[in-house]
Structure 1
Amino acid sequence: MSNAPSITLVALVCAVLNAPATLAQEAGPADTAPDAAGDTVVVTATRTVLPPNALPMTIDVIDAVTLEQQVLISGSIIDAVSALSPSFSPTRQKLSGSGETLRGRSPLYAINGIPQSTPIRDGSRDGYTIDPFFIDRVELIYGSNALQGIGATGGVVNQVTVGAPREDGFTGRILLQGTADNGFSGDGLGGKTGALVSWKTGRFDATIGGTYETRGAFYDGKGNRIGVDGTQGEVQDSESWSVFGRLGFQIDDSARLELIANRFELAGDGDYIVVPGDRTMGIPATSMRGKQPGVPPVNQVETVALSFIDDDLAGGNFVAQLFYNHSEDVFGGGTFGTFQDASIAPLGTLFDQSANRSRKYGGKFTYERTIAGGLRGTIGFDALFDRTEQVLALTDRAWVPPTEFRSLAPFGQLNLALFDETLRLSGGVRWENVQLKVDDFTTLAFYGARQVSGGSPSFDEPLLNGGVVYEPWKGIRGYVSYAEGYTVADVGRILRGITQENVEIDTFLDINPVVSNNREVGIEVDRGPITASATYFWSSSKNGSLLVLNAGGVYDVQRQRVAIKGLELNLKARTPVPGLEVSVGYAHLRGRTDSDGDDILDIDLDGANISPDRVNLSASYRDGRFSALVQGQIYLARDFQGGDPRNSFDGYTLVDAAVRYETDFGGVSLSIQNLLDRQYITYYSDTTRPTDDTLFFAGRGRTITLAWDYRF
């Protein structure tokens, strides 16, 4: 691909903003999804005010009611997304999200468009950066795209925080909930409390809230404690707290200034140690009382953003944002061979633990308006500055040296409506300019204490998109699209593993981007009681980035050609029974990679890189104050051609249920995860590390949550 698009093209579109395509699935058509006040929801992650049916991409919107229901069942945003989206992999039920993919690739997690991922040294904690209590809805954009910049090779998971109050006075919400395992074990109990208060007077409004949650040990379907991951981190046996604030000022009828801030921390209690299982016998790892050495794994995140929005600036819509994000991921420690250094302590005795520290700041703006007739254009510019390092905290050694990432990206987009909006054409380009800076550093003793000369490698890349949407009849539309997304390989893993002499970063480090090309064909029907969609996609990258387990039990980054294809089917129907809806979803994914560099796709992607095929079933009922839900996820068996046969997946089925009743003093909810108390091994544990008995984890058994919330 050329690094220098023509001046004419740059002047015309300036860079990509909307990637292709849009069909709303689980939550219904996104362009008709109303918020609490009955207004149309604008999918902010698409960075346009055009409705989703004008864009050639697959979009889901998980609204506030659905999200609250799913979070009560599972406890987290990421589990809620996984339960509703057949193309999203089953979660690990751990603090680490490594191996959790959307359409076989890593999604970009964002809060109000602010990236939460740390791609330079991916700690895989980006699914736990804000409490769900402060999230109003989740926007899912499927497939590779460059809408939000780096990282969205699988799509975007954008968490939109609660909105500003609409009327003068005080409003708020209070939440109390308790969680227990099936046996109501004393150490399995958990609880959560949260409060959010908003105040509005004239043009000014303010919101402040806080949550605290404690989680007990998790139990599997046989009543045994689930094994703890003392290195990557746990959600079980942990405490988390979060504070959220927003200040807003309505400058005039069209312009608003808003400041938001969020602080989130999830820390393990460290009260359990793992008891290895036996993979050959199908016995999962468990936990026993004991104190983990060192500091238990912790995830800390701080986010601040200042936004200015004017929906009538010179006849167009203008959005600008400045943001700051800081995260620190502390991992569990040990006397790992990698950490040993005879100059500090005798070999085999040195205990240490690592921490990822990342600081991001940047800004973005978009301006969109009608140019002429049915032609609408968008231009904008994104800037991102990221400084990330991984340190061995107890001995103050650099495992991954401080690495600075800088991205500057102008973009532009055109959308042309023809024949009374029956036909729409869209296209655009984003010109990504990236530079990486690494100072001179020395690798750990384990790698030979090599002196590495720093450098500043760079690249610039045009990222294209285009698509066609055709709606011959109201409620029936189809689309075809092409979009490019990009990320960089996990540079930190590459830097920390250098063992050669006289390495110079400028010539050693391949930071050529992972450019993933997403092609998609879809159709949607929304007529009468039926909402249905079918999407076929295929995605490829010539220089992909895969996690491959080495002989030492550590995942390395390998640059390999990757190709993924898939089919997604969704159907929702209102039944003749008033208030009863049923739905079914299906996703088929297959991924292949070139393992030996001969440009032939010779083996399947493994469980660390792609999810199993899945069928989702659900039935929901709503009648006045009462509502109920029963849902099932059927994960289908999968073998990995060319892979270790011990990693084959037998599949399993999970069923969840929830009921809610609105009283005069708030709503009372009862939810049950894994209603049938199924015993199973989690997908990631079952399909990776075939010789590691300490990371062979069962999934949660029947888990019961009772909650009361009150709004005023």
Structure 2
Amino acid sequence: MPATRSIRHALAASALLIPAAAFAQEQSSTVSRWGDEDTIIVTAARTVLPPSALPLTIDVIDGITLEQQVSISGSIVDAVSALSPSFSPTRQKLSGSGETLRGRSPLYAVNGIPQSTPIRDGARDGYTIDPFFIERVELIYGSNALQGIGATGGVVNQVTVGPAKEDGFSGRVLLQGTVDGNLHGDGLGGKVGALASWRQGRFDATFGATYEERGAFYDGHGNRIGVDGTQGEIQDSTSWSAFARLGMQIDDTARLDLIANRFELAGNGDYVVVPGNRAAGVPATSVRGDAPGIPPENRVETILLSFTDTDLAGGNMIAQLFYNRSRDLFGGGTFPTFQDVTISPMGTLFDQSANQSRKYGAKLSYEREIVPGLRGTLGFDALIDRTEQSLALTGRAWVPPTEFRSLAPFAQLNLALLDDKLRFSGGVRWENVRLSVDDFTTLAFYGSREVDGGAPSFDDALINGGVVAEPWPGIRAYASYAEGYTVADVGRILRSINQDGIDIDNFLDVSPVVSNNREVGVEVKRGWVTAGASYFWSSSKRGSLLVLNGGVYDVERQRVAIQGLELNVKAETPVPGLDVSIGYAHLTGRTDSDGDGELDIDVDGANISPDRVNLTASYRSGRWRALVQGQWYLARGFEGGDPRNQFEGYMLIDAAVRYETGFGGVSLSIQNLLDKQYITYNSDTTRPTDNTRFFAGRGRTITLGWDYRF
């Protein structure tokens, strides 16, 4: 038996010997939007004002809730998807391509540092740090430019664990094992993690590491789920992560932090896909075998130096310098795109691609009260993103080295009137962007076209404004308008140029995507019930849609309009400790497919999520916690689309329980409790003729864990 399998089985077996189950210990006073908002500072909003003062829809997933969800699914992306009805069902793969928030791509960030790579979107940005090191997740819904490029659907900001609060040593250890519902030997997985913190006077340090082995995934019929050998897999993979934080409290209000993280996830390559049959509803499966080439992998390193002062000349200052490097290796094949008869006979050339991206940047903001009731923020962001995509085995450039440079000053005002019962806010961000591309030659598949490089630049003022009214305590209404900004997947556009005479300086398809979000909402928190409703409209004149062309997704610049309704209600029941909640999201999206100015067809499943209903019951009493949650993905059709991509819908139920033993907490979590057999949303609504990517979702999956804090 290979050494990695021995490690995996040992980890899983040791975790499964633990006698009881449940959720994470309390580690954060932060709560979701339904809790006491006055205790929340949402760092991704770039203000010290609480969410109740902002005309935005904001959720905060606290540490307890996050650990509950991660214990069920194993990832931040799945946790966010489970809790947010307007977030797409996940693909359960390493690639998040097509996973959207409110029908558009979200910006993933760690402590505000962008993890997304929009220049050549490898769609691996949901797997850049281990959840063990995340204290909470901040969700800001809708297009906005708060964090710069990329947040056309919203922001998913992952906030890492903070410094030790008291002198001395503290820490946490985690041990868990995972197995499929039928207890297959190759379905076993395990994870270990440790975090140690020290504080002495003004100085503190935190170090941590995790290691995880994942087995094969099985569907509700007990069959192995097909592996995606091209885009990459979570199943049959190994990951490890290292985290460090060094801090110094300069004085009572000023602090300096250095944070570093490295994350690596690599497939083991033990399985090959067996095509399914879409027409017969038979999903792809996997059998043991050696996949050709190097298994797909993802590696990310992030370094952040930050200085904060909460009382600098009466205001709050935040300064950050950061560096982020990522390398995404994709699986290979003798794909038509890779063929070149000058290297090998047609149809015989095997290759695989790799994205490499480096980001350097700085963020500076200063906020203070100008006069009583009026707060102002001034800031400046700078970002340089250098990205390329190469064919790893032959050294050919598929996407030429491309540099994105953004310089963006911004200003915000927030005015409180009538004893804070009425607030007006507004601001502007001036984006000064330049794309630099050298002369390059496309692959032979595209005709070996010689393309003149260039450095097109764009300037745009992105505005936002809104009003918040809270006429009575616990009743809040708001309306807002905000613009977001990104670039279309420039890499996909550049690599697919198939005509001569293209000059990047005047190539319209690399122009920016500016989207807007208009929103109205009402939130009520009175007594035993809290509720919220919001309706939004989002549009972009030259949007960015993924369109399947010859087996490869390309970008098409089309007008896109999306609108949606979100409803959430949470209630305390007469049973002490028992709460129930319901959430609903309805989304529609239309696009102008023929360029005549009319929205004529629906956007498809690669670009928008289905309507959804979430039902949750949570219970807490003494040392016990318990959770049952259901997610109903409703059937969806796509007017003007391929009828084979109609979505039938499905329902999933998860459950978890935790008991505090006095020496740590023991948790038992079950994903897909009823062992439902279903086809994942992305597989069901895209690639109607591709039998190798017709994937079922995970069947019943059991995770047993123990975690201890000291």
Q: TM-score, normalising length from structure 2?
A: 0.95
**Contact map agreement 2:37 2:51 (CA 8 A) in 1:** no
Partner of 2:653: 655
Shift of 1:305: 0.3
Shift of 1:27: 5.0
**Contact map agreement 2:37 2:52 (CA 8 A) in 1:** no
1:340 & 1:488 partners in 2: Cα distance?
Answer: 29
Shift of 1:33: 5.4
Q: Structure 2 counterpart of 1:32, which letter?
A: D
2:519 & 2:542 partners in 1: Cα distance?
Answer: 21
Partner of 1:32: 36
1:543 aligns to what SS in structure 2? coil
**Contact map agreement 1:468 1:481 (CA 8 A) in 2:** yes
2:445 aligns to what SS in structure 1? helix
Residue 615 (structure 2) aligned to one of 592, 617, 624: 617
Pair 1:704-2:702 in alignment: yes
1:48 & 1:31 partners in 2: Cα distance?
Answer: 19
Shift of 1:512: 2.3
1:359 & 1:312 partners in 2: Cα distance?
Answer: 34
1:589 & 1:383 partners in 2: Cα distance?
Answer: 34
For residues 98-128 of structure 1, the C-alpha deviation after alignment (integer angstroms, 9 at most, x for no partner) is 0000000000000000000000000000000
Partner of 1:636: 634
Partner of 1:277: 276
**Contact map agreement 2:493 2:509 (CA 8 A) in 1:** no
For residues 642-667 of structure 1, the C-alpha deviation after alignment (integer angstroms, 9 at most, x for no partner) is 10111001100000000000011100
Pair 1:198-2:202 in alignment: no
Partner of 1:22: none
2:444 & 2:380 partners in 1: Cα distance?
Answer: 43
Q: What are the equivalent positions in structure 2 for 1:23-422 lying under 5 Å apart?
A: 27-29=31-33, 32=36, 40-422=39-421
**Contact map agreement 2:58 2:138 (CA 8 A) in 1:** yes
Residue 551 (structure 2) aligned to one of 550, 553, 558: 553
Partner of 1:601: 599
2:71 aligns to what SS in structure 1? helix
**Contact map agreement 1:30 1:41 (CA 8 A) in 2:** no
Shift of 1:31: 7.2
For residues 444-492 of structure 1, the C-alpha deviation after alignment (integer angstroms, 9 at most, x for no partner) is 1111111111100010000000000000011101000000001101110
- State the Cα RMSD in Å: 0.9
1:581 & 1:673 partners in 2: Cα distance?
Answer: 20
1:229 aligns to what SS in structure 2? coil
Shift of 1:143: 0.3
Shift of 1:502: 2.6
2:331 & 2:423 partners in 1: Cα distance?
Answer: 52
1:339 & 1:127 partners in 2: Cα distance?
Answer: 28
Partner of 2:668: 670
1:526 aligns to what SS in structure 2? strand
1:279 aligns to what SS in structure 2? coil
Alignment: residue pair count? 681
1:541 & 1:436 partners in 2: Cα distance?
Answer: 21
**Contact map agreement 2:542 2:558 (CA 8 A) in 1:** yes
For residues 519-559 of structure 1, the C-alpha deviation after alignment (integer angstroms, 9 at most, x for no partner) is 00000001111110000001111110000111x11111001
Q: Structure 2 counterpart of 1:239, which letter?
A: T
For residues 120-151 of structure 1, the C-alpha deviation after alignment (integer angstroms, 9 at most, x for no partner) is 00000000000000000000000000000000
For residues 414-449 of structure 1, the C-alpha deviation after alignment (integer angstroms, 9 at most, x for no partner) is 000000000000000000000000011111111111
Q: Structure 2 counterpart of 1:198, which letter?
A: S
For residues 200-222 of structure 1, the C-alpha deviation after alignment (integer angstroms, 9 at most, x for no partner) is 00000000000000000000000
**Contact map agreement 1:120 1:491 (CA 8 A) in 2:** yes
1:332 aligns to what SS in structure 2? strand
**Contact map agreement 2:453 2:504 (CA 8 A) in 1:** yes
1:506 & 1:30 partners in 2: Cα distance?
Answer: 49
1:72 aligns to what SS in structure 2? helix
Q: Structure 2 counterpart of 1:278, which letter?
A: N
Residue 681 (structure 1) aligned to one of 657, 679, 682: 679
Gaps of 5+ in 1: 1-25, 35-39
**Contact map agreement 2:32 2:62 (CA 8 A) in 1:** no
The more displaced of 213-222 and 449-458 is 449-458
The more displaced of 335-344 and 307-316 is 335-344
**Contact map agreement 2:566 2:585 (CA 8 A) in 1:** yes
Q: Structure 2 counterpart of 1:99, which letter?
A: G
- Going from structure 1 to structure 2, the CA distance change for 1:33 and 1:477 (only over 3 Å counts) comes to closer
Partner of 2:564: 566
Shift of 1:373: 1.2
Shift of 1:507: 1.8
For residues 197-243 of structure 1, the C-alpha deviation after alignment (integer angstroms, 9 at most, x for no partner) is 00000000000000000000000000000000000000000000000
Q: What are the equivalent positions in structure 2 for 1:512-551 lying under 5 Å apart?
A: 512-550=511-549
Shift of 1:346: 1.0
Shift of 1:615: 0.2
**Contact map agreement 2:593 2:601 (CA 8 A) in 1:** yes
1:280 aligns to what SS in structure 2? coil
Shift of 1:30: 6.7
Q: Structure 2 counterpart of 1:441, which letter?
A: F
**Contact map agreement 1:357 1:389 (CA 8 A) in 2:** yes
Partner of 2:624: 626
1:420 & 1:512 partners in 2: Cα distance?
Answer: 45
Gaps of 5+ in 2: 1-29
**Contact map agreement 1:31 1:42 (CA 8 A) in 2:** no
Shift of 1:95: 0.2
2:191 & 2:31 partners in 1: Cα distance?
Answer: 27
2:231 & 2:527 partners in 1: Cα distance?
Answer: 48
1:333 aligns to what SS in structure 2? strand
1:115 & 1:414 partners in 2: Cα distance?
Answer: 25
2:279 aligns to what SS in structure 1? helix
For residues 305-362 of structure 1, the C-alpha deviation after alignment (integer angstroms, 9 at most, x for no partner) is 0000000000000000000000000000001111111111111111100000000010
Partner of 1:18: none
Q: Structure 2 counterpart of 1:554, which letter?
A: V
Q: Structure 2 counterpart of 1:673, which letter?
A: Q
**Contact map agreement 1:30 1:52 (CA 8 A) in 2:** no
1:281 aligns to what SS in structure 2? coil
2:394 aligns to what SS in structure 1? coil
For residues 575-610 of structure 1, the C-alpha deviation after alignment (integer angstroms, 9 at most, x for no partner) is 111100000000000000000001100100100000
1:183 & 1:29 partners in 2: Cα distance?
Answer: 38
The more displaced of 643-652 and 499-508 is 499-508
The more displaced of 493-502 and 515-524 is 493-502
For residues 23-81 of structure 1, the C-alpha deviation after alignment (integer angstroms, 9 at most, x for no partner) is xxx954377259xxxxx231000000001000000000000000000000001000000
Residue 690 (structure 1) aligned to one of 677, 688, 691: 688
2:169 & 2:458 partners in 1: Cα distance?
Answer: 51
2:36 & 2:225 partners in 1: Cα distance?
Answer: 42
Partner of 1:507: 506
Q: TM-score, normalising length from structure 1?
A: 0.95
2:409 & 2:600 partners in 1: Cα distance?
Answer: 38
